[in-house]
Structure 1
């Protein structure tokens, strides 16, 4: 298609979604479903007017997905209603580490025993498909700052953390493709990719978020009339944290998510040090006028959201359209569809149930969390990271087909069930 037609198409799509037409609301269609339908129609599966080659454009797609995930993680972190407290975050930590590990293990077992992949490739595939998505799961995310709904909090905080906790398994799979696993390799992997990279990411995120909040407060104290550029401050924090994490081999996704929480909670603490914290395990809704009862000065994190949320939605539109442009009819194999169904029906519920065993999490919450394990842009990023890292071409092509089918089915299945299940069971 010509450039003019693309401008018209994207413009019409943005206007349609911006108006939230009644037909879309009646059909309970999520934005991702609409974008996917258009992408599949225009892509090689149906009309074939455009085709995006992920193998040749792996680096570009990796960067686009990386930026989308970073924005989404930062937004999710700023919306977190509470700081890090074990009582409130224990379910999230269990999901992000125990359930993540189980998910990788179960998917890797399927890859090894059913798909006949070598163990290194099977672990890598499990790591690519294991993390839940902070970009496409907007209908089950925390909606705004102060949203204390337990289901939304659990799913959003899990997606924020497991994009970082999946990275060690990506590196383990890539390492095992190059050499057989031994005690020395596993020991080095645990020390560097698990312990160091995770702990240092947490430390960098906490410290930089807190530091920026203190700098902002001092700026306000010295010149209260000076208007800060909230958008630049938020984007600058993302860049600083992610860059610092890359320099010291820490997991940047985890660092950015933690930095956003640290910034938001530090701002609240500095502005209202004696305020009480609302627990998402106790309160499920916040009154519309809650902020009027306990006013807080305007925060940089609040102003930054006004700019970043539209960017997140725009990145979702672009990447899902490209997703439709990457999928061919022959991508739909029994191997890919079988793995997707195994992932949704077996791996996700079992890993969630075992990960939350003994945590005291209500069964209904476990059931819904076990279903809404949306796969999306995070999996595309890990896939492109592995391809750009040097994944053999034959394996790369198979992983591309499998991952695209899993993400597309996740958008369709979870997108069609989210509103009915949320209204009936929650």
Structure 2
């Protein structure tokens, strides 16, 4: 592919990132769906035939591009969530109840379900089946914008969208799916590492203890601690600095969000922690530094634009790869894995997590039956799955790697199409029902 073709691809991605959200706002077509279709069409053009689209030939490039895309998404998610999380207050823990349930129950059950299907139905080795389950564990509501929270709430009295945003913040469905995606992108890492350790061979009970102590507890704690520390320092400097020149919130410089992203991720990785968790924790702490300040929206806006561009670029290339042989190794086993995950495993795991000993639906963090079904169903698979597979393939020789790429890509496409089509009407019905049952209604 020539330099001119690369510029054309980037320009098209930027143009579509600007136009598609507005063009698809009132129809059951999400921008990711359109991007994948455009990418498939571009893959049939002569300009796409000069470069290999085999993932095995571009592991490092795929790893870094998808990694940065996930990081930008995590910063955007952390800045958008307006529900506070004060670990010293039990009320905050209860308000986050759906998120803890999805992370501690639904995600492990999803990994287990996909692992069993991969081993029993697809005939994969147990370690490879576990890797497939871990790779497909993270969710990504960015690919179905109707099921994520919107802009950060501020104290601006003249904000025409403020009332709509406040209603959205009261929506436990969007909050639960957004916060889940912000955390499970990092919490899937221990299971990816477990699969890699098993693939390396010689895994003993002593290794299991080391995995729990370091990969589960140690790296998670380091990532969260570094993220909170960086977020606290930058938030204090931006909002409460004694120097007017250093109080960036008063100057409206939104690039602090990108600086926070890079600093927290780099610092966490340097000390061995999970950088994904560090970025999300940093964003949450930065958001809490001055929750109602309009600077929060400025930071979120610049991250959101970059996030949209990166996500759509990845999907555009994914669509091109689909018509250039990415799905060549897809067989009935991969189709079964994808459909089982999207239609059975995730919805059932999510329902079990939310419906067993449920929190009172009238309390904050409580969901009624319809809301539970929506949260359980809309576990969108996306860029995070592509990153984890590229990461694993660059660290260990994988049996059936071509099949894994075809299956994971097909799963992402199925999720983008199914959730993209159903998100708008489903959320519209739930919003309408919520409006009828609210006190104001």
Q: TM (normalized to structure 2)?
A: 0.83
1:359 — aligned with what?
A: 358
1:404 — aligned with what?
A: 409
Q: CA deviation at 1:2?
A: 5.5
CA distance in 1, matches of 2:223, 2:96: 17
Q: 1:13 to 1:232 in 2, by over 3 A?
A: closer
CA distance in 2, matches of 1:378, 1:409: 15
- Cα deviation per residue 1:93-131 (whole Å; 9 max; x = unaligned)? 221222111111111011111111111111111000011
CA distance in 2, matches of 1:334, 1:47: 31
2:158 — aligned with what?
A: none
1:335 — aligned with what?
A: 333
Aligned residues: 397
Q: CA deviation at 1:348?
A: 0.4
Q: TM (normalized to structure 1)?
A: 0.86
Q: CA RMSD, aligned part only?
A: 2.5
CA distance in 2, matches of 1:318, 1:395: 27
CA distance in 2, matches of 1:256, 1:297: 21
> Could you tell me which of 369, 381, 386 is aligned with 2:375?
369
- Cα deviation per residue 1:231-270 (whole Å; 9 max; x = unaligned)? 33211211121112112221111111111011111223xx
Q: State the secondary structure of the residue aligned to 1:359.
A: coil
**Does residue 129 of structure 1 match 2:151?**
no
Q: CA deviation at 1:352?
A: 0.9
Q: 1:142 to 1:24 in 2, by over 3 A?
A: closer
> Could you tell me which of 400, 407, 429 is aligned with 1:395?
400
Alignment of 1:137-152 (within 5 A): 137-146=144-153, 147-148=168-169, 149-152=171-174
Whether the aligned pair in 2 keeps the contact of 1:92 and 1:154 (CA below 8 Å) is yes
Q: CA deviation at 1:11?
A: 4.0
Q: CA deviation at 1:216?
A: 2.0
Q: CA deviation at 1:7?
A: 4.5
Structure 1, unaligned runs of 5 or more: 269-295
2:344 — aligned with what?
A: 346
CA distance in 1, matches of 2:416, 2:82: 27
> Could you tell me which of 250, 255, 263 is aligned with 2:286?
263
Whether the aligned pair in 2 keeps the contact of 1:40 and 1:46 (CA below 8 Å) is no
> Could you tell me which of 58, 83, 93 is aligned with 2:100?
93
1:278 — aligned with what?
A: none
Whether the aligned pair in 2 keeps the contact of 1:348 and 1:373 (CA below 8 Å) is yes
**Does residue 171 of structure 1 match 2:193?**
yes
Whether the aligned pair in 1 keeps the contact of 2:254 and 2:302 (CA below 8 Å) is yes
- Cα deviation per residue 1:47-85 (whole Å; 9 max; x = unaligned)? 964652211111011100010100010010001112212
- Cα deviation per residue 1:312-350 (whole Å; 9 max; x = unaligned)? 111012100111122225243211111011101211012
Whether the aligned pair in 1 keeps the contact of 2:350 and 2:375 (CA below 8 Å) is yes
CA distance in 2, matches of 1:322, 1:342: 26
Structure 2, unaligned runs of 5 or more: 86-91, 154-167, 360-366, 432-441
Q: State the secondary structure of the residue aligned to 2:65.
A: helix
CA distance in 2, matches of 1:80, 1:91: 14
Which region of structure 1 is more displaced relative to structure 2, 351-360 or 191-200? 351-360
Whether the aligned pair in 2 keeps the contact of 1:70 and 1:256 (CA below 8 Å) is yes
